[in-house]
Amino acid sequence: MALDAETRARTLARFEEHRRAWEANAPLRALYAEWYGRVADALPPASHGPRVELGSGPGFARNFIPDLELTDLVKAPWHDREVGAETLPYADGSLGALVLFDVLHHVPAPRAFFAETVRVLKPGGRLVMCEPFIGPLSYPVYKLLHEEPVDMSADPLAPASRDGRDPFDSNQAIPTTLFARARGRAAFARAFPALEVRAVERLAGPSYPASGGFSRGPLLPGALWRALHALEARLPEPLFAALGFRMLVTLEKR
């Protein structure tokens, strides 16, 4: 999709804003290091084929997975190429992995994206996504305090048009309704039998909103935030079905 000059400039400015927020926020950097570490652990080895991140935005992935090809709908200087998620410029069966970090909930037509994923991945290739998780604790935070909308009633596999959309338009509920709800998982399995859901992990408790994210500084003193984060690291994963703010989804092409 062709973007006008104003939208491209606004998108690049948003990338730069996020890079400045990242540099100023140590808890946020710690969280992203942890999450990208989990993404890296879920990827197939680089020998399986090229590994590409879609929607790389500010480009943080290169700090943690240096071999990733970084792409986005609007190319910044740190990106390798300009790519839209619904029309991937890669040959059939050519990629070992795709990475999406806070991207799926911005994709206007997930069905088209997953069809492209099936096309470009090699057998055994993986799609690894780190996305918002909408649960009992996170729902009011995302719904009331986050700038992006949450619509749990939307059909994430319904046809959609990109016309007139801003690249940052979104629905934070999409990953949860697709992969953390039985009905969504069943619909996905019917639509994309070639993609096996290998893992759906909930993570990141209150230490995430306490970091302040990209819109504000940390909400707790450094020592208190680190204590909260360390406490969360000792909690069993099932508790994050109630406490979690993030999810890690790993799909593998059969």
How far apart, in Å, are the Cα atoms of 63 and each of 16, 31, 59, 66, 249?
Answer: 16, 13, 8, 6, 21
User: Can you tell me whether residue 126 is helix, strand or coil?
Assistant: strand
What's the CA gap between 71 and 81, in Å, rounded?
5
Of 251, 247, 252, give the one whose Cα is nearest residue 35: 247
**What pLDDT was estimated at residue 24?**
96
Q: Report whether pLDDT(224) > 90.
A: yes
Ordered by start, the domain boundaries in the chain are 5-253
One DSSP character per residue, 8-49 reads HHHHHHHHHHHHHHHHH-HHHHHHHHHHHHHHHHHSPPGGGS
Please tell me whether residue 65 adopts helix, strand or coil conformation.
Answer: coil
pLDDT at 205: 97
Tokens coding 62: 């290169």
Residue 34 pLDDT? 97
**Tokens of residue 117, six digits:** 């994923």
DSSP 242: H
In this prediction, residue 143 carries a pLDDT of 94
Dump pLDDT digits (tens) for 155-186. 999 876 555 567 788 999 999 999 999 999 99
- Stretch among 22-36, 97-111, 162-176, 189-203 having the lowest mean pLDDT: 162-176
pLDDT tens, residue by residue, 90-149 = 999 999 999 999 999 999 899 999 999 999 999 999 999 999 999 999 999 999 988 899
Helix-helix angle 222-233:26-42, to 10 degrees: 20
What amino acid is encoded at 81 in this protein? R
**Cα–Cα dist 18/55, whole Å:** 14
Residue 192 C-alpha from the chain's centroid: 19
State residue 167's pLDDT score: 77
Instruction: Give residue-wise pLDDT tens across range 43-65.
Output: 999 999 999 999 999 999 999 99
Among the CATH numbers 2.40.37.10, 3.40.50.150, 1.10.1740.10, 3.40.50.970, which is that of 5-253? 3.40.50.150
Q: What is the pTM for the complete model shown? A: 0.95
Instruction: Provide the pLDDT for residue 158.
Output: 86
- 5-24 and 26-42 are packed helices; what angle lies between their axes, rounded to 10 degrees? 110
